[in-house]
Structure 1
Amino acid sequence: MHDDEQKEYLEEPLRLFRKKIIPKLPSNIQKRVIGEVERLEELFVDSRPPRFAIIGRRGAGKSTLVNAIFQAPVAEVGAVTAETERGAWHTYKNTSQKAVMEVLDTRGFGEGDETRFTQTEEDVWQEALSSRYPDAILFLVKAKEVDARVTEDIEQLKKLREIIKKKHDYLPPVIGIVTQVDELDPVYDTDPPFDEEKVANIEHASDHMEHMLKKHLPEVTGILPVCAYTAFKNGEMVYDRRWNIDELIDFLLEQLPGSTWMQWARITQAKTIQIRIAKTIGKSASAITGGVGAQPIPLADLPVITGIQMSMIAGIAYVSGRKLDRKSMAEFLGAIGANVGTAFAFRQLARSLSKVTFPVAGHAISGTLAATATWGLCKAAILYFIEKRPVHEAKEAYKNQSEPPTD
């Protein structure tokens, strides 16, 4: 999923930390940092594509929704590879970000036409689900059709979940999505933001779908109305009528395992998602460096702390869609005045020397400073890589360090 150099920055410091450092830490410190290491390992080492089952009748807007999420015509230009007779799993790939999403295909869902295939739909599901399962199920219904045979479709949806439960002991969350809300009355109000009458009709359609779904599937996770219409020319978006897609993307993050977050950030290219994941990385890295920094081993922990910080920066850069190599790492650190060979090393040296100057309280002071410096690097990396702010703003964020949030 990452090229070799990116992988080196993301994963290697964590492997070394787990192998060589954790066993040497006092038990109370181990407990403090092991969960944070596991969190970063889930994000970096176990990183994989998100997997969805997108359920809906023909014309419900499955391909349109995928394109709206990717902001690219990935579902229309042959970027889909079928793995079974009916293409039960599709792989959608954004070549510019090298981001991948896997979708369980349900062509013919609810249509009752099995004559053109040698297997029934249920047989295909059984085969497709033999080795993997969707992280979540997206149940799509057109806004104008929330009354049309929805009960029938819900029964098939429940059957699919039962197969997943039996094979993998996992019940994926179900998110109901009301699509093509721009087609509701008034017909002349087609471009968001919609007026009050249109919004009222959207809410009515959503409420009805929620009632129908929860009547037969009480544990449904949520209902979101969307307009996903986009138009592309030569691979570039030339018309954008998306509405509520960002809210859907944020909501779906909550349903996905942490191992898919890195890919989800690159797929959606949503800054809110990128920043949220970056802060998660920064909090964990700060807790780890703070724990190591509190140990009474002057200077010996510098390479460990620096390695974790470099892994954090690489992760934030990766989430932003940036390919990180040694040159760009050096450019970032130099730009904010944290060059590993000069200011950055002196700052860390001063932090470790505080243990010598304050032999008892110095350990806690050192740990706090290590965590604070790491959080400062996190804030600077977010500004530099994700928000693409001027260098001086990233430098200022690093200089004006504050303690990482505890929530």
Structure 2
Amino acid sequence: MNQPVLLHIVERLENFLGKLPETIQKPILSELTPLKELFLQQRPPRLVLTGSGKKSAPELVRTLFGFSEDEQMPSPPMSIFRWQEVEIGGRGTISILDARGALDSAARQIQDELKRQPADMIFFLDEAAAKARARRGEIENLIACLDWNGAARAKTKVIGIAFSPSKARASHNREREEASHSRELASSLETALKTENESIQIVSFGSEKNLPDEARELMAILGRELPNAARIEMIRISRDRETQREVAQILVKSTTAICAAIGAQPIPLADLPILTTLQVVMVSGIMYLSGRERSLRAATEFIGAIGANVGAGMLLREGARAVLKFFPGWGNLVCGMV
């Protein structure tokens, strides 16, 4: 089920809502908004890289997003100072803008890219062995990127990525050194960005054996913090159970509220195609969150596979609802609850 099909369904639903009493139009439309943001306006998350330039962009993508050794990186070389889409393990796509080390000649190009497509999240990459002077310059570049992000700056979050040197990884005090580095980085960023009421989240990438766990932690943060339009793609990439459950609950809650409001209207039988379509879209959305392709056919087959007893129960329920609608007032109330 592609976005044009979803758009057609939403347009038909909005046309139907226009015929309902004004008292219930607003609550239903408020439930429809997150569904439109999550599934209709879905796009790759836009992430900006700032800070240390010691690691190449492909190496960073592999580390930050948990590429396994047997997974190949995308073949096209990653360009700097321009947005570039990168497929992650066949599960989804992210858009990366590498703004590290930008000189005056490249600043205008980065500014134009952020004006064309504002960033959702900015990563500040920091090496534990970095000199104070170098970090100050990198933070100034971070602040410039935030300013260039325009009106979206207020909603753009910064995440610090703390890398430990190989010596620290091998030392007995590794965990203590990593924690100290994370606190120092958080303090530097919070002071420079003047974040009074909000702390900067830091993800520390230290021991090689812990890299997959640290990548999952980062992707879970992104799944929670990204705008709705970019969350679905990141959730499919991360496969984080908590965020999958959260968005699935939003989908079920909104669909249920819309179906209840429509079902309570005195329109015998005419609402059956709308309610059935909404339920199929809900199942399709949950399947898509889990990593499967979005398909009305697959959702219909899944519903059909539940069993004949459930199908018979749905038939009896819809028949009872249709009969109840012939009784104004209390009949509409009851069938909206069925």
Fold match (TM-score > 0.5)? yes
CA distance in 2, matches of 1:339, 1:15: 33
Q: Is the 8 A contact 1:33 1:288 kept in 2?
A: yes
Corresponding residue of 2:187:
211
Q: Is the 8 A contact 1:143 1:181 kept in 2?
A: yes
Q: CA deviation at 1:101?
A: 0.8
CA distance in 2, matches of 1:147, 1:265: 36
Corresponding residue of 1:366:
335
CA RMSD in angstroms comes to 3.1
Residue 267 of structure 2 is aligned to residue 271 of structure 1: no
1:294-305 aligned at under 5 Å gives the runs 294-305=264-275
CA distance in 1, matches of 2:199, 2:157: 6
| Residue type at the aligned position of 1:296 | P
| Residue type at the aligned position of 2:135 | V
Q: CA deviation at 1:172?
A: 5.1
CA distance in 2, matches of 1:90, 1:229: 29
2:101 is matched with which residue: 105, 108, 118?
Answer: 108
Q: CA deviation at 1:316?
A: 1.4
Corresponding residue of 1:178:
161
1:71-90 aligned at under 5 Å gives the runs 71-72=66-67, 76-80=73-77, 82=79, 86-90=80-84
CA distance in 1, matches of 2:158, 2:131: 15
- Structure 1 pair 176–261 and aligned structure 2 pair: CA distance change class (3 A): closer
CA distance in 1, matches of 2:77, 2:245: 29
Corresponding residue of 1:125:
110
Corresponding residue of 2:226:
256
1:3-402 aligned at under 5 Å gives the runs 5-7=1-3, 10-19=6-15, 21-59=16-54, 63-72=58-67, 76-80=73-77, 82=79, 86-94=80-88, 96-97=90-91, 99-109=92-102, 120-145=105-130, 147=132, 149-165=134-150, 168=151, 170-171=153-154, 173-181=156-164, 183=166, 185=168, 187=170, 197-219=173-195, 222-227=200-205, 241-325=211-295, 327-337=297-307, 342-356=312-326, 359-369=328-338
Q: CA deviation at 1:130?
A: 3.9
CA distance in 2, matches of 1:255, 1:241: 21
- 3-state SS in 2 of match to 1:241: helix
- Structure 1 pair 286–80 and aligned structure 2 pair: CA distance change class (3 A): farther
CA distance in 2, matches of 1:296, 1:362: 9
Q: CA deviation at 1:242?
A: 2.4
Normalized against structure 2, the TM-score is what?
0.85
- 3-state SS in 2 of match to 1:159: helix
- Structure 1 pair 12–345 and aligned structure 2 pair: CA distance change class (3 A): farther
Corresponding residue of 1:390:
none
CA distance in 2, matches of 1:137, 1:335: 44
Q: CA deviation at 1:264?
A: 1.5
CA distance in 2, matches of 1:355, 1:65: 60
- 3-state SS in 2 of match to 1:298: coil
Number of residue pairs matched by the alignment: 334
Percent of residue pairs identical? 27
Q: CA deviation at 1:306?
A: 1.0
Q: Which moved more, 1:68-77 or 1:86-95?
A: 68-77
Q: CA deviation at 1:243?
A: 3.3
- Structure 1 pair 339–307 and aligned structure 2 pair: CA distance change class (3 A): farther
| Residue type at the aligned position of 1:363 | N
- 3-state SS in 2 of match to 1:72: coil
Q: Is the 8 A contact 1:43 1:262 kept in 2?
A: yes
| Residue type at the aligned position of 1:103 | I
Unaligned stretches of 5+ in structure 2? none
- 3-state SS in 1 of match to 2:90: coil
Q: CA deviation at 1:347?
A: 2.8
Q: Is the 8 A contact 2:162 2:181 kept in 1?
A: no
Q: Which moved more, 1:37-46 or 1:175-184?
A: 175-184
Q: Is the 8 A contact 1:227 1:242 kept in 2?
A: no
CA distance in 1, matches of 2:2, 2:204: 36
CA distance in 2, matches of 1:150, 1:216: 11
Q: Is the 8 A contact 1:10 1:314 kept in 2?
A: no
Normalized against structure 1, the TM-score is what?
0.72
Unaligned stretches of 5+ in structure 1? 190-196, 231-238, 370-407
Q: Report Cα offsets for 1:62-93 as digits up to 9, x if no partner.
A: 544422454437884424554xxx45222111
